[in-house]
Amino acid sequence: MTLRSFILPVVAGIFLTTGVYAQESKEAAMHRKAAEVIAQMTLDEKISMMMNSTPGVERLGIKPYDWWSEALHGVARNGLATVFPEPIGLGATFNPELIWAIGNAVSDEGRAKFDLARSVNNFSRYTGLTFWAPNINIFRDPRWGRGMETYGEDPYLTGTMGTSYVKGIQGNDPFYLKAGACAKHFAVHSGPESTRHSFNAVPSQKDLYETYLPAFERLVKEAKVEVVMGAYNRVFGDSASGSKFLLTDLLRNTWGFKGHVVSDCGAIDDIYGGHHIAQDAATASAIAIKAGLNLECGTSFLSLKTAIDRGLLTEADIDKALEPLIMTQLKLGILYDDPDCPYYGISPSVIASPSHYALARDAAAESMVLLKNDNILPLRKDIQNVYVTGTAATDTYALMGNYFGISDHYSTYLQAIVSHVSGGTNVNYKPAYTIVPAKDINPGNYATAQAASADYTFMFLGNNGTTEGEESDAISSPSIGDRLSLDLPENQLHFFRQVASLRTPNNKLIVIITGGSPVNLQEIAEVADAIIMAWYPGQEGGDALAELLFGERNFSGRLPITFPISTEALPEFDDYSMKGRTYKYMEGNIMYPFGYGLSYGCANYGDLTLLTRKPKLGDEVQVEIPITNTGNVERTETVQLYVSTPNAGAGAPFSQLAAFERVTLRPGESRTVRFTVTPDQMKEFQEDGNAKLLKGTYKITVGTAAPTQKTEELGEALRSVSFKL
């Protein structure tokens, strides 16, 4: 008998026999199995399992596996899949149940695709079940090109949506995972892209614990996220992918994280090449392992044996780092075929299925935000003369965002508009401008006069993945993915101005903004009759928009990020202080506030009532508010609750989101919405990073957007009640 023929049955017995561990919990039994597998590996085999592209261990029956897969808003970079809206659009839905359903659909498709890939021995990148999503960084500055990947600027909204997505991805089995989700990029990471490989983020302790960490803590504690990805940048001088404070002290020891930690791709190279913390790959790899990293996306870990030879690490350190990786594969049921895993055998019919396409359309419709409507929407379908203009109207790339999959069905805006109007409606189209600004913006343009003279002009302006995104991905960005200004490209503004100057009296101008970040809409808002923020809505974006335009659905999207008026009034991009940032700390410079969005019809918010009589320090506080749909169409209200603490505006946020609820009301229907505010949600973060309940006056505001002066100017409903603790 050969050694290989002896070992394989032994290992198979270890993994398929449950009787030996009948008295142990499933998790304890699997930890024992992981230790037994590691004990049989050579040092070289162990090291080979700690980089994203693993060759497997053939003599132990372990197949190759690449840990790097993407599923930001659908299974990505892996062929056919349903393409859902970009996360910034999903954040605009304020609908965690929807986000859970999307996560569940994504992991169903991922499981089916994984099985199909393995059936043809395809072990390549992006075919695995460890999805490096969601991105729960805080969109603290609207110039950041990757802000589109996030759920917005608010830690509570981000944590809520991220938790739902992770739960949808990972399934509900107490031990096994349908797929592994990943909280990234840990931590204090949100641009600029140009310096992410060398930048040192030094936030205050207050900002760290109040803004940058809460969403990660929630995903670890509430969602039991399986993977955490370290960021490229340094935090307090240490690489985020090699920080003992972040990866061990905080993540594992304080929060109780049980999964594995992966570096961002090439981040170990940055430890010596970008940050100059270490002299070479071996030293950098040792720093990362000692800090608590388990897996490298990259190949610097090839030097781990050298690090051991130098005495920087021991083989026991390697064993400790490898164990969580083996455990993840056991939870997925893929280290060896595990008959107890409940997620085998998901039918390939779920991939790009009609039900998933319908879910994508629902999500796209709920994501779009109506910013202005001078009583021209919704439209009748028998309108006479329509002109559609702008490259995004026919560009499928304007639907995708980044980190996207490939669908076999894309609904463009032009296709959808022409399919929704009557057969007797005159519809014409010209792109009018190039998405990349031309050198000469003044040539003759037939689209100008035609757009200005139509009864209804649908003008598509904004960005796509060539002008904003990740480093080296947005090839036309002026700053390696980021935007230097919130203004629209000059050629787009030039076209808009020409049309505006030539408009006939009967022309109605509807502007649709594409992209994943705020733009300066001050000039547009002065002229346009309606403005819609469409984001990157995914494959069903065209039909979703048309259904909204023509009243088949009602707008319910709300802004997950503040739209500033100008770039100039923003803090410096690389300043990680939250002063002057987001609705919580901005004074002025607000075009559209966080949480804002219009719907058809109208609703009345009654008085906000404090139900908790004479609350004391440490008590929960309950409030309720009646809401009535006084219009003639069904509408969904996103009722938002904000807390202002005793030092609001004097070191503490002006207000902070603490709860929200979507309420759908038929015409004439009333409903009372009740909220409970916990003591933790009333705490103020101090300069040392600790959160305290303080004596003093508190204010709870419930309404349709964040309580800012701009919100009041826009006439949005805000109802408040104050009390002392």
Q: What amino acid positions are annotated as catalytic residues? A: 264
- At residue 366, what are phi and psi to the nearest 5 degrees? -75, -20
Question: Which tokens is 706 given?
Answer: 């964040």
Q: Which residue has the tokens 């955490």?
A: 228
CB neighbour list of residue 180: distance below 8 Å, 6 or more residues apart:
129, 130, 131, 169, 170, 226, 227, 259, 328, 331, 332
Query: Is the previous residue joined to 192 through a cis bond, with omega within 30 degrees of 0?
Result: yes
Question: Which tokens is 89 given?
Answer: 């659009």
CB 405 within 8 A of CB 78: yes
Which residues on neighbouring strands pair with residue 622, listed in sequence order?
676
CB 180 within 8 A of CB 173: no
Q: Which H or E element spans position 3?
A: helix 3-16
In the DSSP assignment, the letter for residue 60 is G
CA 403/CA 474 separation, integer angstroms: 12
Percentages of the chain per state (helix, strand, coil), in multiples of 5: 35, 20, 45
Q: Which residue intervals of 230-336 are DSSP H helices?
A: 244, 267-273, 281-291, 304-309, 315-332
Q: Which residue intervals of 352-483 are DSSP H helices?
A: 354-367, 397-400, 413-420, 446-453
Three-class secondary structure of residue 419 per DSSP: helix
CA 558/CA 549 separation, integer angstroms: 17
Q: What is the DSSP string of 507-570?
A: -EEEEEEESSS----HHHHHH-SEEEEEE---TTHHHHHHHHHTTSS------SS-EES-STTS
Q: Is 245 exposed, middle or buried (0-12, 13-18, 19+ CB in 10 A)?
A: middle
CB 340 within 8 A of CB 83: no
Q: In Å, what is the CA distance from 380 to each residue of 5, 366, 420, 422?
A: 74, 21, 10, 9
Q: Which residue has the tokens 């592994």?
A: 180
